[in-house]
Amino acid sequence: MRLLVVEDESRLAFALQRGLQAEGFAVDVESTGPAGLDAARHGGYDAMILDVMLPGLSGYEVVRRLRAEEHWLPVLMLSAKDGEYDQADGLDCGADDYLTKPFSYVVLLARLRALLRRGAPERPTVLTVGDLRLDPARRRVTRADVEVALTTREYALLDYLMRRPGEVVSKTELLDHVWDASLDTAPNAVEVYVGYLRRKIGRDRLETVRGAGYRLA
Amino acid sequence: MRLLVVEDESRLAFALQRGLQAEGFAVDVESTGPAGLDAARHGGYDAMILDVMLPGLSGYEVVRRLRAEEHWLPVLMLSAKDGEYDQADGLDCGADDYLTKPFSYVVLLARLRALLRRGAPERPTVLTVGDLRLDPARRRVTRADVEVALTTREYALLDYLMRRPGEVVSKTELLDHVWDASLDTAPNAVEVYVGYLRRKIGRDRLETVRGAGYRLA
DNA sequence: CGGGTCGCTGTGAGGCCGCTGAGGAGAATC
DNA sequence: GATTCTCCTCAGCGGCCTCACAGCGACCCG
């Protein structure tokens, strides 16, 4: 098993390298974002341990670019607890697991093994249906590369539909999942918001299946 | 995919159970810490959703004990925002992800999926009879790969018949299952809809067995 | 061959479903 | 405090679906 560690604090990097080698892994270390990205692209690694704070290119940016190039190398992200970024950002941008410093070495090892066992993720982080793209990390939607401004509810609705492209999704299912399950909202609200969405993403893209629900083409 | 939900607020627990079941997960619910811990140990689950505030044993304690016993079941932790504990505690004690209440269902699902990193979603079975195909998820019917547009009633009728290919299905049986059993509809309605179907899927595919019913070839 | 039963289909009315514009309540922003 | 934005309800409307009805054809019997 070949591992890539990208970490600029040399003491931590060295500790990781030594520890992981003792576990039987082959470990290479890079200390900057660009160098890490390049190594990840071409090194044939089985997983990468990636710090967030890196010179040249942040860990987030490294993962994002990797994923954009369709590299699905498992990534375990490390970050300081009090950083400006938080865990959700890390997961959203395409990392597979996340650890906040300080972390226990045993936990790191366990997470790493879990990651390797599961293998490369198959799911891209940016949802794409036709010329529609939805980027959860940036909470951004584009249609033919033109940005579309959506309200919270519209976004949640589109998000849900884009995760099930081509499938018919019933109004009650949408109410349960996109709307707060506890409140009971009239099914008409769904129709209203489907209407709003259609105006923004194109009328024909969101089919009505009478008596059954809606389908994103 | 088998999930364990440990949550003592029964309303939330039920909402989660129902929602996740609708997603295709097998979901078991426990409402106390000790019961949750025990189920997690022996239940063969793929992931656990765990509330922090629990009677008997806190969520933190549950994870800690699990990890101490070398159980690496993925755990998604839930907690109230204003609790005495914070997110770092949850992650430090071994949870894999953390969500503060109130949370959006969509976010929960996204995190859960990230946790499971499951492969391609298994499609529900597509019914096939001859060159007829019916995809329940997409609510789509094709005949020799050409899409056939069906109304709700037509679709329900074809669905029922395609689940019993080659068998003779009586009109009363169809009335009971395809039509609302409470209303009493004239048997002629079946004849009418068989007629509609025949026009759309081909005349010869749906035989009349005089005095007995219909048979899909 | 003729009568009776069963099934098919064109017609049309009624109703349900979904769409939309208007507007009010509440939150966010200035 | 005013304005804007967002969410959601409501009511009206338009269209498609559903289904009863009746006439006709097909099939089965003596």
Which single residue is written with the structure tokens 């022996």?
A: B42
Residue A46 and residue B200: Cα distance in Å, rounded? 53
Of A45, A115, A44, nearest to A77 (Cα)? Answer: A115
Shortest distance between the Cα of B169 and any Cα of chain A, in A, equals: 25
- Which of A79, A82, A87, A108 best probes binding to B when mutated, by most B CB atoms within 10 angstroms? A87
Q: How confident is the model at residue A216 (pLDDT cuts 50, 70, 90)?
A: very high
Q: Report the range of poorest mean pLDDT among B16-30, B37-51, B57-71, B83-97.
A: B83-97
Q: Out of B22, B87, B92, whose CB is closest to A176?
A: B22
Better pLDDT: B183 or B12? B12
Q: Which residues have a Cβ under 8 Å from the Cβ of A92 and sit 6 or more positions away?
A: A125, A136, A137
Percent of chain B with pLDDT over 90: 31
Residue B80 and residue B78: Cα distance in Å, rounded? 7
Q: Out of A99, A168, A180, whose CB is closest to B139?
A: A168
pLDDT at residue B48, rounded to an integer: 92
Question: Would the pLDDT of B24 be above 50?
Answer: yes
The model carries a pTM of 0.54
Greatest mean pLDDT among A100-104, B4-8, B9-13 lies in B4-8
- Which of A75, A85, A97, A117 best probes binding to B when mutated, by most B CB atoms within 10 angstroms? A97
Q: How confident is the model at residue A106 (pLDDT cuts 50, 70, 90)?
A: confident
Q: How confident is the model at residue B77 (pLDDT cuts 50, 70, 90)?
A: confident
Residue A6 and residue A15: Cα distance in Å, rounded? 13
The order of strands in the sheet holding B140-143 is B127-129, B132-135, B140-143, B146-148
Mark out chain B residues that contact chain A at CB-CB < 8 A.
11, 15, 18-19, 22, 67, 72, 74, 87-88, 91-92, 94, 96-98, 104-106, 109-111, 113-114, 117, 119-120, 137-140, 151-152, 155
Percent of chain A with pLDDT over 70: 87
In degrees and rounded to multiples of 5, residue B8 shows phi and psi of -95, -15
Q: Out of A107, A121, A159, whose CB is closest to B94?
A: A107
Residue B110 and residue A156: Cα distance in Å, rounded? 12
Which single residue is written with the structure tokens 């549950």?
A: B62
| Averaged pLDDT, A4-30 | 87
Question: Would the pLDDT of B195 be above 90?
Answer: yes
pLDDT at residue B92, rounded to an integer: 52
